[in-house]
Amino acid sequence: MSTRAKRPIPIKSSKISGAEIIYRSLEREGVKYIFGHPGAILLTLLDLFLKRSQIRHILTRHEQCAAHMAEGYARASGTVGVCLVTSGPGATNLITGITDAYMDSIPIVCLTGQVSTAMVGNDAFQEADIVGMTRTVTKHSYLVKKTDDLPRVLQEAFYIARTGRPGPVLVDLPKDVILGEAAFEVPEEPDIRGYKPTTRGHPRQIERVAAAIAEAKQPILYVGGGAIHAEAHAELLKLAETADIPVTFTLLGAGSFPSAHELSLGMLGMHGTAYANYAVCECDLLLAVGARFDDRVTGKVSEFATRAKVVHIDIDPTAIGKNKQADIPVVGDARLVLHELNKLVKAQKRPLWRKRVEKLKADFPLLFDSQSSPIKPQEAILTLSQEAGDRAIITTEVGQHQMWAAQYYNFTFPRQFISSGGLGTMGFGFPAAIGAALARPEKLAIDIAGDGSFQMVMQELATAMQYGVPVKVFLLNNYSLGMVRQWQDLFMDRRFSEVGLEVSPDYVELRPAIRKMIETPGPFILDVVVDPDELVFPMVPAGAATKDMIVRDDRKRALSGKLSALPDN
């Protein structure tokens, strides 16, 4: 949502209101949309959105969804998303969205109203210490105490959000700061003591990576969402093809490498492809790019990639070695590091390794039993992929449908797949799709939803209708909380407790229906009733090693009732 010149001209003016400073700061950052919900503290600022046309305010029906829409905008556009809410419950309702953005390194700036500075700490009406509450889930949080500080703080907020490892920044705006007056004086560039992100990798470390690639017999590229944030896809493709290295990606790395490429292994981890997980078990060099070795990828981390020398490339130095020790750490921007690495890497062919990987693909393909009724969710995703293809940006909610989307949709470009990763936020996908649709109006925005997740945020249909946002909802409806039901199916002897959604809204031949959804202007819900007994495989039980994954559903229930295999959440 934010675009700006690299060296903007300093701005000086006579005194203007705090509200005017906020609006001009947003204009200066290139903001086109702001997502929010009003309150009395914001009246003078909201009045400017009525009088001006440069920034369009999108009135959401819930503040959490304002944060998710800002996330969707940021994830689809690669710029900063912005949301604006009032004090107290308005601010606290943002916390889930802020945490989601923090976990997935998404650049958003959250503006919150606050009671007047003289009343802060007095338990005033609709007062909440939102800065204190969000300190651990933001890159930085500001409580602005003087109107004079507004230009600098807002400039810094956008700079922090988009640089280094991206993430959310919160700016709390007391009423008297908004109503006060000050000069609009903006530094040419932000100068924040102690915040100097490293973008260029150390040349010696990059040389060591190139040497390790040349020596490796069975290398794997393991790519996370950081590669997408860094716009590293072209350099990644060049490296993989030059050095003949198979590529696997995380859930948030989907789209960083074409799914259908001959070197693609698809997603790895808990519900990744079996052949990706087995290949990682066998590799002798694991090149992690913008990934953090999270538990959903590694399973039992002590047994993850035990034969491999580990290269870890990441812009965040605290991520390196946090979960898995790196033999060759490289701190820097993924695109810049890979660009320098590609200068050193020589063309190679690895026929034996490629033959082994192809055998793993042949021996452990993604499988499901196709049948007409009830519809298999995997078939629904495949058909959607065939019909929508690269015309669409796909968002998802969280659950079984999310994993099937990652497994079966053919992603061809970065930022095509938008999902909640680290926090696993149900209700994320639909508001994110609205944000994505506004960011990329030339694309179809399709939310692949589960019925449980969609019911949490379906009030935002009113938002889509009010602003004419042509978002589509591809609802995989199994009348249950499917992923929890799956764990109960596998590990609780099919005792299904508190997962049934038989009482649900009445949502409105599969392929013709998909075509109608795509061709119909405006918001559209396609209700696809799917088999409730269909489970997501492969699957690594929580706490198990990736090599011990359940490859397919043989209904033997060998692990039933083992509490040690229950998920942590």
Q: Which residues are catalytic?
A: 63, 125-126, 175, 483
Report how many helices (DSSP H) and strands (DSSP E) the chain contains, helices first: 22, 19
Looking only at the bridges linking them, the beta strands covering 56-59 and 472-477 are unpaired
Q: Which token pair is 183?
A: 């000069």
Q: What is the DSSP letter of 389?
A: G
Across-strand partners of 524? 472
Q: Which residue has the tokens 């470009």?
A: 413
Q: Which token pair is 433?
A: 């799709």
CA–CA separation, 58 and 1 (whole Å)? 13
Q: CB neighbours (10 Å) of residue 538?
A: 25
CA–CA separation, 380 and 238 (whole Å)? 33
Closest CA to 148 of 115, 176, 129, 113: 176
DSSP string, 165-190: S---EEEEEEHHHHHSEEE--B-SS-
Beta-strand ranges (E) seen in 293-403 are 309-314, 328-331, 392-396
Q: Which token pair is 358?
A: 């192809």
For 297, the 3-state DSSP assignment is helix
What φ, ψ does residue 359 adopt, rounded to 5°?
Answer: -65, -40
Q: Which residue has the tokens 């407790």?
A: 497
C-alpha distances out from residue 79 to 231, 326, 428, 449, Å: 12, 31, 19, 25
CA angle 471, 472, 475 (to 5 degrees): 140
**CA-based end-to-end distance of the chain:** 33
CA–CA separation, 273 and 341 (whole Å)? 28
C-alpha distances out from residue 334 to 6, 206, 267, 270, 328, Å: 20, 12, 19, 25, 15
Q: Which token pair is 518?
A: 């795509």
250 touches 275 (CB < 8 A): no
CA–CA separation, 499 and 487 (whole Å)? 11
